[in-house]
Amino acid sequence: DLGHPGFGLDDLPLRDDLRGQAPYGAPQLTVRAVLNTNENPYPPSQRLAEAIGRAVAEAATGINRYPDRDAVALRQALADYLGHGLDAANVWAANGSNEVLQQILQAFGGPGRTAVGFEPSYSMHPIIARGTATRWVSVPRTARFEVDVDDAVVAVKEHQPAVVFLTSPNNPTGTALPLETVEAVAAASPGVVVVDEAYAEFRREGTPSALTLLPDHPNVIVSRTMSKAFALAGARLGYLAAHPAVVDALQLVRLPYHLSAVTQAVARTALEYADELLGAVDALRAERDALVEWLRAHGFEVADSDANFVLFGRFPDRSAVFADLLERGVLIREVGPPEWLRVTVGTPEEMAVFRDALLAATGRA
């Protein structure tokens, strides 16, 4: 208490709208199988780890100076990776896509403005809305976790949101959106439509990215991250693709030099190893499909997944199943609709541990 016993949060001049609220907090535990935050289970190869080390050493020789404030070389490399005719002017990067999303709400949301999301979805969207004092309106997804186009258009017309969040593939359900849904929402929206594609690289064959909509839809923003497919969660690098005017708008709220020289160097190096990293993504997609099949074969209900995680159920007491798994060294996530649990796709070894633990925890062993 630093000598001030009895002094707490309630004694601080905290904003009224933050009183009594809970912070984001997925447990960080050291157990046999950590399958709770949709990370990539594969650490960088020795070759890539060494290349990152060299890039950081190189950045260190000039670390007395501020980094490139506009991160131009990194944005160009990200644009090259995305393709679709994009270049650096279409791309913006920040410390994780969470920061990208926060900058979007700082620029386009705020007091007196509304953001709409289709839930269950990523829990940080309403938390970032709260932090930026943007009103949050939640529209329910269908029983199959899809976004009903008519419901979506009605909600947009009613609430006139400055920002709409469409997550595809959706976290925690794994559901990808048809492009027609994004187009219909973009056409009805008075503001910007953020398609959060954090898990884009894990989509199954035939599910397109909203990147294809950018040329004809200047109010669409596609958000991506290097935390998942690029196995770079610890480096914190998220980015977006949009009309250059959107990038101009974000310059008004970004902090100067927000992306460190080290972060820029690490991310650029990882992009040079895209082929290697995306090879591991193929293995994860196959592991995901096998997991879905296995769960269904054992009588579980499973949401179709285009991501590196699977939502499965149903459990009248999901907390009991979660706790039992944890006792067996398997950490998954109690998130999403009641009766469902989410598991991140790990290595084959981790998934074997998960399968055994789940059979034991649910009396199927």
Q: Which residue is nearest to ligand PMP (CB)?
A: 96
Amino acid identity of residue 352, one-letter, is: A
CA dihedral 51→57→58→62, nearest 10 degrees, is 150
Q: Which is nearer to ligand PMP, 155 or 335 (CB)?
A: 335
* Tokens 């890539």 found at: 48
CB of 196 to ligand PMP, least distance (A): 5
The H or E element containing residue 355 is helix 348-361
Distance from C-alpha of 118 to C-alpha of 66, rounded to nearest angstrom: 40
Helix 96-108 to helix 124-131 angle, to the nearest 10 degrees?
50
* Tokens 């160009």 found at: 76
CB of 227 to ligand PMP, least distance (A): 3
- Do 321 and 341 form a contact (C-beta atoms < 8 A)? yes
Q: Which is nearer to ligand PMP, 198 or 221 (CB)?
A: 198
CB of 220 to ligand PMP, least distance (A): 16
CB of 203 to ligand PMP, least distance (A): 13
Distance from C-alpha of 162 to C-alpha of 10, rounded to nearest angstrom: 32
- Do 346 and 35 form a contact (C-beta atoms < 8 A)? yes
Amino acid identity of residue 133, one-letter, is: A
In 3D space, the residue among 25, 38, 30, 32 whose CA is nearest the CA of residue 325 turns out to be 32
Q: Which is nearer to ligand PMP, 311 or 361 (CB)?
A: 311
CB of 355 to ligand PMP, least distance (A): 24
Q: Which is nearer to ligand PMP, 259 or 361 (CB)?
A: 259
In 3D space, the residue among 76, 55, 93 whose CA is nearest the CA of residue 257 turns out to be 93
Burial class (CB in 10 A: 0-12, 13-18, 19+), 244: middle
CB of 230 to ligand PMP, least distance (A): 10
- Do 203 and 215 form a contact (C-beta atoms < 8 A)? no
Query: Coil, strand, or helix at residue 278?
Result: helix
CB of 59 to ligand PMP, least distance (A): 21
Phi, psi of 132 (to 5 degrees): -100, 10
Q: Which is nearer to ligand PMP, 122 or 202 (CB)?
A: 122
Q: Which is nearer to ligand PMP, 79 or 361 (CB)?
A: 79
Site residues (vs ligand PMP, CB under 6 A): 38, 96-98, 122, 167, 171, 196, 198, 225, 227, 233, 238
CB of 118 to ligand PMP, least distance (A): 12
CA distances from 316 to 142, 324, 328, 334 (A): 20, 14, 20, 13
CA 85, 90, 95, 96 torsion-angle sign: negative
Residue 224, strand partner residues: 239
Q: Which is nearer to ligand PMP, 103 or 167 (CB)?
A: 167
CB of 170 to ligand PMP, least distance (A): 7
